[in-house]
Structure 1
């Protein structure tokens, strides 16, 4: 494994990595807390949640495989050079595990809190099903030749693709409702901090190693940071410029679309479709 040439840069790399980890990890909690205090998920787009779960599950597979598998690490170095560091750190693995867990908790809130007439779109279901079908096909192709590096790169590409599209339903929903109520801005601010520090971490590693291989060798992580920054800035613009909180309607008229929770407290045996 390649060693660091500069101790200050190595320390900076570790600090930035953990800042990104804590920022991205904490970014899940404002939405969960907001849902809990409102006892409602109206304003939170369900397509975003489903696409987000697919994204984080794929990223978890990529990070765990590359971080723990000696075979995949060997294939990586054969492709990019034996002196190169593996572009996945312990904080990447920890973040992915935490992200899948917190996204699952948020999906559970959809089942128990008021949600109005919101539901997962057919388009989202088709996209998610197609993505996992492609992953299974790639697994079948990779198995005979043991092309595991190629296989996990597919999962890395999946998470980049899902990151590129997962924010679109929420952004469109905000535009349509002319409001960001129900969508936590705390989530976005922490997410933005995580994206910026993650990108800076990769830059520090490049400066020390004198190569940009960790950018193009882990293009998914590079594109992830750029995509996160773009969409977070869009949501910040929506929240603070287009639909400022001061313009919100009185609580008695907000969320007219709210009807009933998915799981009724009366113990009704029927539940609305997700």
Structure 2
């Protein structure tokens, strides 16, 4: 299309809009060039038309029929418009399939109508329905209905209860180590690398959970990318992440205040790994306004991947330290037991939610929670083996095996 033709068509669009705004009975079909080039006048038509759904986010129990109120606005000069539907997946049907609305009054102005829509569900799961207002085959406005059809409210209640059980287990699991250190007046036998990894892990995990639960813009980005997805983050997940961060800070403070052995410090490898992970998160934040298609949701995913990677390696220094000392005296087995319980119930909750909505692939959309549960179970089994099988006969005190020179070293330099 030549520039002259485009300019002429745009002039017609401006003319059509000005007449419509004044309420003149102008029919868009009078502009025959615009019927051929719908991509030019479609934006103007979208400004003149509107379709809204109330409510637009619904949770129901299968099998149930749903009634939603629809509000439609369009110029009277258009005469008739069609309301069409498109669902993903296609186990939601509407009655009727297509709605045609006509206005006998073409003297100008706007048509405002409200009418009910009826939806039938034939399956469970998460689904979206697009409601489109079309005129002359052109989509002028659209609205979305997000529908969550669950198998049983009892499964939702059970998953919530399990969520708080595993949250309490994980929360309480921090306390035995803190109490263990305080009673011994020592952190000998506790890996400083483990604490450094834990600190970074709970910072990134807090960002991921809080962002996905409390920021509507990020939730919208999630559902745009996963229309039938399930957000597995709950309030208990956010509480646990914040609480874990605070308790880790308390344990780090104990490392400065309580006794430790000579040479007990954070390793260079740990500093390098945590530094690279921090740079990756910061770089992803900078990339959001610069890289098209890179969203804040992707930043949260990087935070979750960081948490999973940290969890995958954070227990290794403690396992090696136990092996080196041939003892688990500096490591609280009660904390390990509670950590194992939390990981187990976390996985059970995820599978219950997936079963309730028949959406098993949604488990993979929360890699942090899935990885956290699996890795907690795996490593804690290894700690059980060390404590109950390999090193049952422990020396009276690990400190006896180390030189008692601790006060001559600057605490800040030793961490």
Higher strand residue share: 2
| Counterpart-to-counterpart distance in 2, 1:127 and 1:252 | 29
1:156 to 293, 304, 321: 304
Verify the 8 A CA contact 2:229 2:359 in the aligned structure 1: no
The structural deviation recorded for 1:223 is 1.6
Structure with higher RCO (Cα < 8 A, 6+ apart): 1
SS of match in other structure, 2:346: helix
Displacement, 1:84?
3.5
Q: Mean Cα displacement is larger for which, 133-142 or 60-69?
A: 133-142
* 8 Å CA contact retained: 1:66, 1:72: yes
Shift of 1:79: 1.1
Equivalent in the alignment of 1:266: none
Q: Which runs of 5+ in 2 are unaligned?
A: 1-56, 58-147
Confirm or deny that 1:95 pairs with 2:243.
no
- Counterpart of 1:206 in structure 2 is 354
What is the SS of the residue equivalent to 2:230?
coil
SS at match of 1:181: coil
Q: CA RMSD in A?
A: 1.9
* Range moving further from structure 2, 210-219 or 125-134: 210-219
Counterpart mapping for 1:17-32 below 5 A: 17-32=163-178
Higher-Rg member (1/2): 2
Q: Distance in 2 between matches of 1:243 and 1:75?
A: 50
In the alignment, is the contact (CA less than 8 A) between 2:195 and 2:252 conserved in 1? Answer: yes
* Contact in 1 for aligned 2:261/2:399 (Cα 8 Å): no
State whether residues 159 and 352 of structure 2, in contact with CA within 8 Å, keep that contact through their aligned partners in structure 1.
yes
Indicate how the Cα distance of structure 1 residues 261 and 67 shifts in structure 2: closer, same or farther if over 3 A, else same: farther
In the TM superposition, residue 179 of structure 1 has moved relative to its aligned partner by: 0.5
Alignment of 1:223-242 (within 5 A): 223-242=371-390
Question: Is 1:250 aligned to 2:391, yes or no?
Answer: no
Aligned to 2:317: 169
Indicate the SS of the match to 1:42: coil
Which residue of 220, 223, 234 corresponds with 1:77? Answer: 223
Structure 1: 5+ residue stretches without partners: 264-268
In structure 1, distance between residues paired with 2:399 and 2:204: 40
Counterpart CA distance in 2 for 1:134 and 1:143 is 16
Q: Is the 8 A contact 1:113 1:261 kept in 2?
A: no
The answer to whether structure 1 residue 273 and structure 2 residue 400 are counterparts is no
CA shift for structure 1 position 255: 4.2
Give 1:78 deviation, angstroms: 1.0
SS of the residue corresponding to residue 288 of structure 2 reads helix
Give me the whole-angstrom Cα distance separating, in 2, the residues matched to 1:75 and 1:151: 12
For residues 186-223 of structure 1, the C-alpha deviation after alignment (integer angstroms, 9 at most, x for no partner) is: 11000000000000000100110001133111122112
Q: TM-score, normalised to structure 1's length? A: 0.92
Gap change, CA 1:137 and 1:210, over 3 Å in 2:
same
Rounded to whole Å, the distance in 2 between the matches of 1:212 and 1:235 is 31
- C-alpha separation in 2, matches of 1:85 and 1:211: 8
TM-score w.r.t. structure 2 length? 0.61
Count of residue pairs the alignment pairs up: 266
2:274 maps to which residue?
Answer: 128
Structure with the largest fraction of helix: 1
